[in-house]
Amino acid sequence: MDFKEWFCLDGRESFTIDAKIYPADARFYFGRDEIKARLKAQIRRAFVDPGTPKMIIYGSFGSGKTQTLFHLHHYLLNELSGVAFKPHTVHLDLEMQSKSDHADWHLQLMEAVGKDTVSSWVNNLFNQVPNLEQELEGLFRDHNLAESTKNLRGGGDIPFLAWRWLCGYKLTASDLERLQVTRSLGDLGAGDMVKALVGMGHLAERNEEKLVFLMDEAEQFNNVRTGDATESLHNYIRKLSEPSNSSTGFIIAGFSLTIDDMPEMLYRVDVRTRIGENNYVEIPPLPTVNDVQTFLRELLSELVDHKRAEKRIVKEKLQVSLETYPLTADAFDLLSDFASQDPAKSLPRNAIRALNECAISAWDEQKPIVGTDIVNEIAPLIFG
């Protein structure tokens, strides 16, 4: 019998939840009903006004920000109903260095959407409207943007050139001429690039989709050290947050212990007032022992095959209930107690870690259940 069979795990190798490793885990969101309900309600409202979600999620490492982002991704794709458009979600991890500026950010967003996606939107639109050029001019309100986007349907290397232009690469004069545009994107600053992104959002809407970026690792903005680069990034997010942008949404997640710790450009007053204070959502540690218990109970309920567990409990007369299996009731309470002692360490990541370690320890000793002896040995390693 291997580890997963020993603990009656339901189609998984361990008690680890990690949507980055197991994409299906995006459907899980344990022990945070209030935050979950709040986020989902705000997202639903945002599709009405201002037209698309604009949110910032923050918290300490291990608090569940990434899982929150993945879960919202899952929600947008699978559960959201009653909105006019089908969300087209684009998930990316931000990557910033000391001199990264708005152009780097724009490039990451564009490449995350992908040339093929945008090309397919253009092709679909071509099939629907009598005059593609006119339609694109209306969506982008900029001749150069419309022209480049139209060129994604071109032949030869023109589509690739057009994509490079839309991503903000500086092109040669002859390439600009081939595309029939007057300048490179970004020549007029961050606003130029945001216009492209917002235009993409309108293009998505014409295809009955809503473009929403889910960006993780926002603490990367702290790597940017040059003043000009920081200001250009600030301009980019400020313009993306404008009420006039009702087509391209974003949910940005990053490490920050308090709202004041986050990269300054994200909470500067002009950005905060545009995004809205209530759209800055903290993912705190699990605040009380009850919260830890709820988290663990819900996790165990999903990860354990209850039919098999029940059979084992009965067959081997194990002193454990289905609700806390494979921990005894005392071990469950003790682990929850350990987990909530230090608020800074009362994190979902640590709770999952401790559960796995206790289970491995029981497995090493060929014990079918985890008792308080194991929790007393293992929990201090994780929670200090």
Partner 1 sequence: MTEAALEPRYAELVEHKPVERFLRMFLVSSRRADELILISPIIGTLKGVSVSMERLAARINRDRIRTYVITNEPEHSSHRGAIAILSRSDYTEIRFNASLHAKVYVCRYHDGGFALLGSGNLTATSIEKRIEVGILLHSRGRGADLVRELSEWGTVRLRTLSKLHKRMIPARRA
Q: Binder to partner 1 among 10, 13, 116, 270 (CB under 8 A)?
A: 13
Count other C-beta atoms under 10 Å from residue 157's C-beta: 11
Q: Which of 250, 255, 280, 332 contacts partner 1 by CB under 8 A?
A: 255
Q: Does 184 bind partner 1 (CB under 8 A)?
A: no
Note whether 364 binds partner 1 by CB under 8 A: yes
Contact predicate 219/263, CB 8 Å: yes
Cα angle 224, 226, 228; round to 5: 110
11 vs 130, beta carbon nearer partner 1: 11
Site string for partner 1, 82-111 (x = CB under 8 A): -----------x-x-x--xx-xx--xx--x
Taking residue 279's Cβ as centre, other Cβ atoms within 10 Å add up to 19
Distances from the Cα of 352 to the Cαs of 298, 347, 365, 383, in angstroms?
A: 12, 9, 20, 12
Per the CB < 8 A criterion, the answer to whether 266 and 221 are in contact is: yes
Residues 196-225 that bind partner 1 (CB under 8 A): 219
Are the C-beta atoms of 335 and 354 separated by less than 8 Å?
A: yes
**Span of 81-89, 122-130, 261-269, 376-384 interacting with partner 1 by CB under 8 A:** 376-384
Closer CB to partner 1, residue 280 or residue 338? 338
Taking CB under 8 A as the rule, which mask of x and - marks residues 340-359 in contact with partner 1? Answer: ----------------x---
Which amino acid would we find at residue 316?
Answer: E
Q: Is 371 in the site for partner 1 (CB under 8 A)?
A: no
Footprint of partner 1 on residues 36-75 (CB under 8 A)?
A: 61-62
Length of the chain (residues):
384
Residue 276 beta carbon to partner 1: minimum distance, rounded to whole angstroms: 28
Q: Does 230 bind partner 1 (CB under 8 A)?
A: no
Selected from 360, 367, 368, 373, the binder of partner 1 by CB under 8 A is 360
* Shortest distance (Å) from residue 215 CB to partner 1: 14
Round to whole Å and give the CA distance between 283 and 32. Answer: 9
Sign of dihedral through CA atoms 191, 202, 41, 352? negative
Near partner 1 by CB under 8 A: residue from 119, 294, 301, 361:
361
CB 179 within 8 Å of CB 159: no
Torsion-angle region of 200 (φ positive above 0: left; ψ -120 to 50: alpha; else: beta): alpha
Return the number of the residue (79 or 111) whose C-beta is nearest partner 1. 111
Number of residues that bind partner 1 (CB under 8 A): 37
Residue with tokens 């998930």: 91
- Torsion on CA atoms 136, 232, 73, 15, rounded to nearest 10: 160
Contact between 380 and partner 1 per CB under 8 A: yes
Q: Please pick, from the candidates 11, 21, 269, 277, the single residue that binds partner 1 as defined by CB under 8 A.
A: 21
Using the rule CB under 8 A, give the single segment among 115-123, 207-215, 323-331, 361-369 that binds partner 1.
361-369
In this structure, are residues 338 and 375 in contact, taking their beta carbons and an 8 Å threshold?
Answer: yes
Under the criterion CB under 8 A, does residue 373 sit at the interface with partner 1?
no
Helix residue ranges, H only, the chain: 3-6, 33-46, 65-78, 102-113, 115-128, 132-140, 143-150, 158-167, 173-179, 190-206, 227-240, 264-267, 269-275, 289-303, 306-315, 329-341, 348-364, 372-383
Q: How far is the CB of 380 from partner 1 (least distance, A)?
A: 4
Residue 381 CB, shortest distance to partner 1, in Å, is: 4
Specify the 3-state DSSP secondary structure of 210: strand
Q: Toward partner 1, which CB reaches closer, 1 or 314?
A: 1
Q: Which residues contact 345 (CB under 8 A, 6 or more apart)?
A: 285, 339, 382, 383, 384
Interacting span for partner 1 (CB under 8 A) from 17-25, 113-121, 139-147, 323-331: 17-25
Q: Which is nearer to partner 1, 25 or 147 (CB)?
A: 25
Question: Does 326 participate in binding partner 1 (rule CB under 8 A)?
Answer: no
Q: What's the token pair of residue 30?
A: 């344990």
CB 181, min distance to partner 1, A = 18
What residues make contact with partner 1 under the rule CB under 8 A? 2-3, 13-14, 16, 18, 20-21, 61-62, 93, 95, 97, 100-101, 103-104, 107-108, 111, 168-169, 186, 219, 255, 338, 356, 360-361, 363-364, 376-381
